Structure 1
Amino acid sequence: MTVTVLVADDQEIVRTGLAMILDAQEGIEVVAQAADGLAAVELARRLRPDVCLLDVRMPGLDGLEATRRLAGPDVVDPLAVVVITTFDLDEYVYAALRAGARGFLLKDAGAALLAQAVHAAAVGDALIAPSVTSRLLRAFADGGTRGTAQHRRPHHQLEQPFEPLTEREEQVLLAVARGRTNTEIAQELYITLSTVKSHVARLMMKLGVRNRVEVALWAYDTGRLRAG
């Protein structure tokens, strides 16, 4: 099955480059490109691509507001959005996740991670760049000094799961918290990629969280992992 993608970035050379990288990946086809947020929202609503890859900073309508309009909590039939940016700022990550994004990457992530994020978003998973995950953990370990109260998660997400985690789920939890990708987890634990995906999905269900960053933060808040 081919994953269709819309790419939105106001810089033509970046937009074209991202489209070329994605088109070169097996099972991915770029079906539209947009130079601003308003065009991205219009094209996305009309074409209904499997994944929308949106830059954060765009004229007219930025990527975060475009994400909110396409995937926010009030959207009846949300699209899958992956936010990508040059700017390594925590505020963007928090805002993107709150807006409904299923992934957050920096533009230097590389072709493999970019393709992995697109495929993950297409099937309902979330992938956050490992470097971003690690930094978010450090920020929360410092008492959230780099975020504000509105970024903190509801207290119910800090409770122990009703159904205890298995030993293997605990291992996967720590790997996710350290920013490992599914492929890296499979290699480290000597299990198949599909098994890893099943464990991650099960973890999110048990913990009542929506993405890998929230899995990682739960591991932190419950004392399973210390800041590095």
Structure 2
Amino acid sequence: MKILLLAGTSEARDLSRALVARGHHVVASLAGATRAPRDLGCETRVGGFGGEQGFRDWLANNPVDLVIDATHPFATNITKRTARVCGDLGVQSLQVRRGPWAPEAGDNWRFIDHPQQAGDVIPNGSRVFLATGRQTLKQFSGLASCYLICRQIDPPEGPFPFENGEFRVGRPPFSVEDEVGLFTDLKIDWLVVKNAGGAMSRSKLDAARRMGMPVLMINRTAPPDGPQVATVDAALEWLDAHY
């Protein structure tokens, strides 16, 4: 069968290889947020579809049996658009959405729903490490009294959007020891993350626990209705049950 895989996560990478090994024709799509993405082991297109109408047109010109949305848990617009368009066109879709993180003993987490609420929690004058990516960086304007350090995978294409901050470039994975050393060197007071879940990027949370550092956790939004699984194995089981 022909499958369109909306990628950008480690689950998408593992799933593409598993699907190809099963003999499926997989076309993976990457938004292009990372300049040197890792090989997905299948036909790959980069750069998005040009909005909702572009996505509709692509599906009309490239019929598929299934669309698997394995994008980042915070790629909210893509996920909503995918569910809406597939529903309108009668194309079966499946969301692969890894489970969120949950605090453990020793964690000091505070939860918010939107980046704009960060200023209501983090004290003035704090040094804040934003492990939230560059796309939502401007939404942290409420932290004008703090010093912000935003980590991203690729070197920045422009200056930091606020006078009170800087970019830090780094490509995961990072060990707990790496993160402890980095946070110590930068004299970080608060860590801010999106609740993306996943084992690979949890090391920063383990480092914060080890250091007794508070974490500001941004909650996910509710996903659209439709079939949803949390793991690659569950996605393959769903496929076996439905095809």
Task: Between the two structures, name the one with larger relative contact order (CA 8 Å, sep ≥ 6).
Answer: 2
Rg larger in 1 or in 2? 2
Name the one with the larger helix percent: 1
Same fold by TM (over 0.5)?
no
Bin the TM-score by the shorter chain: 0.3 to 0.5
